[in-house]
């Protein structure tokens, strides 16, 4: 077999199989999801390039025991389950996160607007302050 034919066969085989192998062992970003690098025409910062200065690193919660407690100046105090929160209307938007340390990134945020929580709990008109507690303090 001529060298040119051998090189042609190797290059065709390489091209055919090059899309079949993942550099990450076949796992997507966050288990079975795919990383999106653009949204509504905006370029998003790849997750690998985003900084995380969380007090205790990325928090992973137990969806079964998670509760979002809303009380105080509301007509209907509630403890929402994770399923109840994710069942509320979702919204997505592009956000720029900029740290005072000089770094920042652009990401797609998807979640529930706080207005949806207020609607569910009946926030009173004289309520002026919201206090949040997070899983990592």
The predicted pLDDT at position 115 comes to 92
> pLDDT value at position 52?
81
**Model pLDDT, residue 51:** 84
Say what the pLDDT of residue 31 is: 52
Give the E-state strand segments of 47-103 in sequence order. 67-70, 78-81, 91-98
pLDDT, position 78: 96
Q: 0.85 cut: is pTM over it?
A: no
Rounded Cα distance between 33 and 67, Å, is 24
Tens digit of pLDDT per residue, the chain (137 long)?
A: 554 443 344 444 443 433 333 333 333 344 556 888 888 889 999 988 888 877 787 888 899 999 999 999 999 999 999 999 999 999 999 999 898 888 899 999 999 999 999 999 999 999 999 988 877 76
Which pLDDT score is estimated for 32? 52
pLDDT at 29: 45
Give the closest residue to 86 by CA, choosing from 123, 116, 107.
116
3, two tokens:
């060298």
List of residues 6+ apart from 117 with CB closer than 8 A: 68, 70, 80, 88
């Amino acid at each position: 077999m001529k060298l040119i034919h051998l090189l042609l066969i190797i290059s065709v085989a390489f091209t055919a199989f090059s899309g079949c192998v993942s550099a990450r062992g076949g796992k997507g970003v966050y288990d079975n999801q795919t990383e999106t690098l653009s949204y509504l025409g905006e370029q998003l910062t790849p997750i690998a390039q985003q900084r995380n200065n969380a007090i205790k690193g990325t928090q992973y919660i137990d969806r079964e025991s998670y509760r979002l407690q809303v009380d105080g100046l509301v007509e209907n105090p509630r403890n929402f389950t994770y399923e109840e929160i994710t069942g509320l209307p979702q919204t997505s938007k592009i956000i720029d996160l900029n740290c005072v340390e000089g770094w920042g990134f652009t990401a797609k945020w998807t979640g529930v607007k706080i207005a949806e929580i207020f609607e569910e709990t009946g926030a009173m008109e004289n309520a002026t302050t919201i206090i949040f507690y997070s899983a990592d303090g």
